[in-house]
Structure 1
Amino acid sequence: MLWYQIVFLSLIQGLTEFLPISSSAHLILPAQLLNWQDQGLAFDVAVHVGTLIAIVGYFRKDIAQIVVAWCVSIKDRQSTSDSRLAWWICLATIPACVAGLVFDEFISTHLRSVEVIGYTTIGFGVLLWLSDRYGSNSKTEYDFCPKSVVYIGLAQALALIPGTSRSGITMTAARFLGFSRECAARFSFLLSIPLILAAGGLKLIELISSNVMVDWTSIVVGVVLSAISAYLCIYLFLKWLNRIGFFPFFVYRLILGSLLLFIVYV
């Protein structure tokens, strides 16, 4: 890849991984609309590592408390709010993992198109706005239960469809269930960690088994830029979320989706 492609794709991954606008759509589109060569498996691994570094770095204290509480709950069977949150994250991760194993090939073959991304960008954007417009703010992370966590997990599985947005659909589900914006966003971000680990790990295994040549300069730049941009994105998003809500992201998705469908049909 040329240097500006490396910089652009790294920043796009970092900025869109945690915003409710779909990182997969933004990584697929440049290759299809600008006739860029596919960035390749090694670069996908790099930007996933970058976003993982960002989310772990930002929530490092929370993660440490959750992991310790989870281990204690297994050893001593002591339940706390942090240990329950750890189990909720595990439970909510299962549907997406199962769906990924079952439908990955079908999605890669039939759904990675500009047309599909256009429709999902608009459709799930509308749902995001409706959830924020009519959802209450009555629940916090202490109000999670198996039923609500399973709903969020099933919603997360839909994010395998390009254009859906993993963070967007999980926040949408949480807001429809009555959780506050901050709680929905925080749970969505923590929920991303096992999936990013799984996706990055699978891509790494594919990379090792493929014996392809790796451009290490591109890899390092991808990791650094995606990590920095993702960290800033998480910080600013959580800082401004209660002030601006999800409406600006709905408008962005509506404009982007309409533009993509215009390109397809005109």
Structure 2
Amino acid sequence: MSLFHIFLVAIIQGLTEFLPVSSSGHLILLPNLTNLDDQGLAIDVAAHVGTLGAVVLYFWRDVKIALLGLPRALTGKRDTPGAKLAFLLIVATIPVIIAGLVLKLTGLDEMMRSIAVIGWTMLGFGLLLWWADQKGANAKTEADWSTRDAWILGLWQAVALIPGTSRSGITITGARAMGYGRSDAAKIAMLMSIPTILASGTLLGLDVAKQADIAMMRDMGLAAIFSFGAALLALALMMRLLKSISFTPYVIYRVLLGVVLLVIAYS
């Protein structure tokens, strides 16, 4: 695999993983709209590892608190801030794991990897994000995150298994619809991504480990490094911009891309 191809895939993954524009949708589109071959499972796993590192580093203070509280959370206790956060993240991850296993076992995950599906989800869920962002109140903060809200956002997150939906976008949409402020909605969505990416990366990594060689490990290392840098930049930029602007610029991008993809799909 060429260095340019690795760089391109990693940058796309890194820049789009935490922006509400769908990283999986962009990666599926890459080989469909260019002459490049599909990057393969190994590079996908490596790029996800890079983005995981970026979000852990950016929110390290919260991650550290959750890790310290994890042992108590696993026993069902929520008597410390760390235990509560760890418990809520576990709860929010359960729906996407169950839905992911169902899609994988039934083969529906492969059936949805089309330009038409991505076009409709880009457009539809982009407009839904705009509606939730404009109509949502700013009454709740991350401190108000409850078990009920974690379950609901977990269900929203499971919808992101449809290509083009955007995991961060749909969870932010759900959080804004529930009354969380923009920055708080984004932060909760980012923290929810950690166990989700970790779970999916572990599952996919088991398949990659069976066929890994020196060349593949080198390519994976480069992809992880590139995606880490791009994801950290995109994450820091979005969290800073949310202090002064809405999600409308991302919605405009989604709508325009969705329309273009639908034209391509049905022409």
Q: TM-score range by the shorter chain?
A: over 0.9
Superposition CA RMSD, Å: 1.8
Which residue number corresponds to residue 240 of structure 1? 241
Q: Give the direction of change, closer, same or farther, for the CA distance of 1:79–1:225 in structure 2 (3 Å limit).
A: same
Q: Give the direction of change, closer, same or farther, for the CA distance of 1:216–1:177 in structure 2 (3 Å limit).
A: same
2:74·2:87 contact (CA, 8 Å) conserved in 1? Answer: no
1:81·1:142 contact (CA, 8 Å) conserved in 2? Answer: no
| Structure-to-structure mapping, 1:23-38, within 5 angstroms | 23-38=23-38
Displacement of 1:149 in angstroms is 1.4
Which residue number corresponds to residue 119 of structure 2? 118
Displacement of 1:75 in angstroms is 7.4
2:78·2:84 contact (CA, 8 Å) conserved in 1? Answer: no
Displacement of 1:70 in angstroms is 3.5
Q: Alignment identity in percent?
A: 44
Displacement of 1:78 in angstroms is 6.1
SS in 2 for 1:139: coil
Deviations 1:162-207 (A, max 9, x none): 0000000000000000011111111111111111111111111011
Give me the TM-score of the superposition, normalised by structure 1: 0.94
Deviations 1:110-145 (A, max 9, x none): 100000000000000011000100000000112122
2:10·2:226 contact (CA, 8 Å) conserved in 1? Answer: yes
**Alignment gaps of 5+ in structure 1:** none
CA distance in 1, matches of 2:53, 2:147: 29
CA distance in 1, matches of 2:73, 2:99: 28
SS in 2 for 1:215: helix
| Structure-to-structure mapping, 1:33-112, within 5 angstroms | 33-72=33-72, 77=77, 79-104=79-104, 105-112=106-113
**Alignment gaps of 5+ in structure 2:** none
Q: Give the direction of change, closer, same or farther, for the CA distance of 1:163–1:77 in structure 2 (3 Å limit).
A: closer
Displacement of 1:244 in angstroms is 1.5
1:42·1:214 contact (CA, 8 Å) conserved in 2? Answer: no
Total equivalences in the alignment:
266
Displacement of 1:60 in angstroms is 1.4
Which residue number corresponds to residue 11 of structure 1? 11
SS in 2 for 1:242: coil
Give me the TM-score of the superposition, normalised by structure 2: 0.94
CA distance in 2, matches of 1:95, 1:73: 18
SS in 2 for 1:264: helix
CA distance in 1, matches of 2:44, 2:264: 26
Which residue number corresponds to residue 193 of structure 2? 192
- Which stretch of the first structure deviates more once superposed, 204-213 or 29-38? 204-213
- Aligned AA for 1:258? V
- Aligned AA for 1:67? L
Deviations 1:52-78 (A, max 9, x none): 111111111211112213435667956
